[in-house]
Structures are given as structure tokens and as C-alpha cells.
Amino acid sequence: MDKRSVEYKLMRTANIVFLFCIVFEVVGIMTVMFWGTLGAEMAIYFMTFVFAVFLARKNGLSIVVKKPNISTFLQGIGITICGIPVALVLSALAAFMSSAGVDTSEDVTIYPIWLSLIAFAVVPAIVEEYVFRGVILGAYLQIEERAAVFISSLFFAMLHFSLGSVMYGFMYGCIFALVRVATGNLIYSVAMHGVFNMVNVAMAYIGITMVPGWIVLLAFSAGLAGFIILLIVFFKKNPVSLSKSSFKRRQLITREGYITLIICLCVTVMLLMM
């Protein structure tokens, strides 16, 4: 098999994983009436993870998870926490366009907080990072680094459906992907994603509306400044060089990927119209 055929096979693998994320999402939603939100959520992640592991092993994708450097680890966590106010602003902007722009937290708070942290923070972080920054990004990194970051982040964002989640999902998707490329270690993006989810779960229990406006404004200003500074420091210490391939832009996503993107876009538009 020549190099171009091998690269196309890798692209197709990544796009098929994305397609089956949607398939498992639909199957999982159908189980809500039997297993509840928590059971359906776990079913979706279990099916997605098993399928992604199967394809990764079948195609010989090596996903590196090793002991992190403490300084790099803490910088990554700092970037995540400082970026949360930015994510909240993006979500709030989406809320002006549609009520679908803000994620609901009612299903999270009906469970004990320890269970919600595991089910809605830790498990999603592990599975989604393995799928998007492990398998999908990993496959594309063998073809073109620039496309790997953009496409894996686009797939990750579009799978969240609500406009607010799509907006900050793409932002964080790019950051997680760049961190993975810069360090060559999946553990950093898993930790960053997990912390982001944990903070959001905690906020659902606390209730951000109970926080005075001046504190929110101060937190946003400090968070934005810290976010920018930490990004500069992190990538100065861990520089990223993004290569290009001979593929045309439209060829970097296969038929399976385009079909899935269209489905995601249709669902997002439908939610915006509700």
C-alpha cells in the first residue's frame, strides 16, 4: 500500500470514529427511558470508548499516556481554569441567539455531587480525550498537523450540538489538541478536560446566579489575563510547529465525516429554532 493510500485509510478511520460517536449518541438517547440520564450517558461513553479502542488497535495507532511533568501539568490546569470565564461569555453570547445556547444542569444536580463528578466530569474527560485527541488527532497527525488540530477540534465541537457548547468546545478543542501535539502526552489534555468538567459540575450545584455581579466581572478580567499569559508561557516552553500535507483542504475530511458534520449542523440549527 502506497503512502497516500495509508494516509487515506487513517483519515477514514478518524472520520468513522466521529460518525459512530453520533450513532452511539442516538442509541444512548433511546435508553434514557429505561436507564435514566446517568445510565444513558454511561452507555454512550462505554460504546464509544470500546469502538475507539478497537479501531485504534486495528490500525496500529499509538496513544501515549505517561507520567506528566509537574510544571507543565500545573500550567495546563491553570490555562483550563482561567479560560472558563471566556467559555461562560461565549455561552452567554449564544444565549442571545437561542435558549439552546446554554446547557442545562438540572440532570446533574439530582445526583450526589461525588457521583456527578465521576459520571459527568471524569468519565467524559477520559473517553472524549481518548477519542478526539487520541484516535482522531493521532490519525491526522500522521498526515498533517495543522489539519489534525483543526479537524479534531471541529469534530469535538460539533458533537456538542448547542451553540454555546460548540463555540467554547472548538476553543478548548484547539487548546487540548495543541497541548497534545506540543507534549506528545495525552495525560495533560485528559487532566485539563477533567478539571473543566469538574468546575462546571461544581458551578451547577453552587449556582452562578447567586454570585454577585462584581465578583463575576472581576473573575472574568483576572481569568482572561491569566488565560493569555499562561498560554504564552506554556507554548513558549512547549513550542508547536504545524506541518502541511499535499492533500487539498476538502480532501482531508472523508464522506463519513461530511455526513456526520451535516447531521450535527442540522441538529444544532433545529435547536436554535426552538
Q: What does the DSSP assignment read for 76-109?
A: HHHHHHHHHHHHHHHHHHHHHH-GGGS---HHHH
User: Are the C-beta atoms of 121 and 201 separated by less than 8 Å?
Assistant: yes
C-alpha cell at 26: 442516538
Share of the chain above pLDDT 70, in %: 91
User: Which pLDDT does position 103 carry in this prediction?
Assistant: 47
Give helix 186-206 / helix 70-97 axis angle, nearest 10°: 50
For the ranges 40-49, 88-97, 101-110, 134-143, the lowest mean pLDDT is seen at: 101-110
- Distance (Å, rounded) from C-alpha 151 to C-alpha 140? 8
For the purposes of burial, counting CB atoms within 10 Å of the CB of 11, is it exposed (0-12), middle (13-18) or buried (19 or more)?
A: buried
Look at residue 211 and tell me whether its pLDDT is greater than 70.
no
Look at residue 274 and tell me whether its pLDDT is greater than 80.
no
- Taking CA atoms, 141 is separated from 31, 51, 81, in Å, by 35, 20, 27
Q: What is the mean pLDDT of residues 64-84?
A: 94
User: Which pLDDT does position 100 carry in this prediction?
Assistant: 40
pLDDT band (50, 70, 90) for residue 249 = confident
User: Which pLDDT does position 244 carry in this prediction?
Assistant: 77
- Side-chain-side CA neighbours of 246 within 13 Å: the count stands at 5
- Taking CA atoms, 272 is separated from 116, 161, 237, 266, in Å, by 27, 10, 41, 10
User: Are the C-beta atoms of 93 and 12 separated by less than 8 Å?
Assistant: no
The mean pLDDT of the chain is 87
For the ranges 49-58, 66-75, 194-203, 214-223, the lowest mean pLDDT is seen at: 214-223
pTM for the predicted model, two decimal places? 0.90
User: Which pLDDT does position 102 carry in this prediction?
Assistant: 40
- Which residue blocks in the chain are alpha helix, DSSP H? 3-30, 32-58, 70-97, 106-109, 113-117, 123-128, 137-141, 145-158, 163-183, 186-206, 213-237, 255-273
Look at residue 99 and tell me whether its pLDDT is greater than 50.
no
